[in-house]
Amino acid sequence: MTDKRKTPLETEEITAEMCSADVRLQALGQVPFFSMLKSAELQEINKLFKEQGFEPNETVYFEGDPADHLYVVAAGKVKLMRHTRSGKDVLLDLLEPGEYFGSLSPLPDETYTETAQARTTVCSLRIGKETFRSILANRPGIALRVLEITAGRLQAAHERVRQLSAFPVEHRIAFTLLTLAEKFGQPQKGRLLIQTPLSRDDLAEMTGTTTESASRTISQLQKAGLIETGRQWVAITDRERLEAILEEE
């Protein structure tokens, strides 16, 4: 019995029981800053997290809400974004299992500076920011890992500022596709599929352009044979020529 759908994306099979005890432990063990912990320690820390599930498109928190939790993605994909008055949203990041989001700062009276939204069915684990801070205060090794990850995100954000400041749409789209492929890429039929739902709209929000411009650029790249694409998906077929676009000035 063949699937009639044309999308090459694997549907994310996540059920209601996704937040079961062992899945939780596995998810936490995947978190870069917990991965060095011994099993016993991990179990201790596991107890401090509460699980919370979300349906696709459900919002974890809104920009401006009081910020008092830190979240870890256990299963599914989470989108971080900022809004604008005109309704044009900006997509800041797409998170995989093992990545954190939410509030790191222990200061009171803070609010989230971005909106977090489930893009698939999601299981998240969350912890109060004070509790998390005390974990960091007691285990410098973890604090240093968290710092490294945050510093890495800062570099990525700076690179994005550079892209937006200095390069035309085609260049930015190419860059974004290559970056996404590094994170979500899955070899398939001699091409590199970006294994996450990805609309022209998403791409536009990631590159600071409009849906129409993203669509035109994507079509053009497909005609040139650099990528294959369809509704909600993109696969890279000629990585080298795509990278060559980044070399143009």
Q: Which residues contact a second copy (rule: CB under 8 A)?
A: 82, 84-86, 88, 90, 92, 104-107, 113-114, 133, 136-138, 140-141, 143-144, 146-148, 150-155, 157-162, 164-167, 205, 207-208, 247, 249
CB 242 within 8 A of CB 221: yes
Cβ-based nearer residue to a second copy, 191 or 216: 216
Site for DNA (CB under 7 A): which residue of 12, 65, 96, 201?
201
Does 229 help bind DNA (rule: CB under 7 A)?
Answer: yes
In sequence order, the 6+-apart residues with CB closer than 8 A to the CB of 215 are: 200
Cβ-based nearer residue to DNA, 93 or 170: 170
Neighbour count for residue 48 (Cβ, 10 Å): 14
Neighbour count for residue 76 (Cβ, 10 Å): 22
Order the strands of the 191-194 sheet from edge to edge.
Answer: 185-188, 191-194, 233-236, 227-230
- From the list a second copy, DNA, none, partner contacted by residue 232 (C-beta under 5 to 8 A by kind): DNA
Cβ-based nearer residue to a second copy, 39 or 84: 84
Residues 24 and 49: their CA atoms lie apart, in Å, by: 9
Cβ-based nearer residue to a second copy, 132 or 233: 132
Site for DNA (CB under 7 A): which residue of 68, 99, 114, 170?
170
Residues 78 and 97: their CA atoms lie apart, in Å, by: 9
Does 237 help bind DNA (rule: CB under 7 A)?
Answer: no
Q: What is the CA radius of gyration of the chain?
A: 19
Does 163 help bind DNA (rule: CB under 7 A)?
Answer: no
